[in-house]
Amino acid sequence: MNIEVKELPSYQVAFVRHVGSYLETYKAWGTLSKWVEKNSLPPTEYFIGISLDDPSVTDEYSCRYDACITIPKEFSIEGDSSIKFKTLPGGLYALYKFYDTIDKFAIAYQSVYGQWLPNSDYEPDDRHALEFCMNDPYTDPEGKVKVDLYIPIKSMVGH
């Protein structure tokens, strides 16, 4: 399993929360995309998804997901009631680069948490995993998603 350990900065983000099946998060992305277009955000910003619940223990229709976009420091955070704002904490993360169909994405989580993490010098941290969306699956020639999955970790050294 090809994992890189990386330090991420904190990010200011605008986000739309989706509650329901993770297969329907495109609804939140649609709302966010309209807002991004209206506010002319630069193409250098990151699109980040955050799956807030584990679908193996939370009912599918109660799962929460935040569709986020990073915003420039000088950006004015006001206005639209469908958009909320927060800061994502920085820190140490295990990066797994995923490129496959979205139905296999849960396996990426299982692999990092179930295989890589127990055999590493790290343990999970209590921050949320970050799913950096690196492509638009609707324009991908094979219909695949490219996601840089960042799993929050902390060193076990000294424990």
The helix (H) or strand (E) run that includes residue 84 is: strand 84-88
Mean pLDDT by 10 residues, the chain (159 residues): 94 96 91 91 92 91 96 78 92 97 90 95 95 91 94 83
Rounded-to-integer distance, Cα 45 and Cα 126, Å:
25
Domains and CATH numbers, the chain: 3-155 (3.20.80.10)
Rounded-to-integer distance, Cα 110 and Cα 159, Å:
24
Give the N- to C-terminal CA distance of the chain in Å, as an integer: 25
Looking at residue 43, what is its pLDDT?
Answer: 84
Looking at residue 117, what is its pLDDT?
Answer: 96
Q: How far, CA to CA in Å, does 135 sit from each of 23, 46, 123, 132?
A: 17, 11, 29, 9
Tokens of 57: 């223990």
What is the dihedral sign for C-alpha 45, 46, 47, 51?
negative
Q: What are phi and psi of 49, to 5 degrees?
A: -100, 145
**Do the Cβ atoms of 8 and 90 come closer than 8 Å?**
yes
Provide the whole-model pTM. 0.91
Q: How far is CA 26 from the centre of its chain?
A: 13
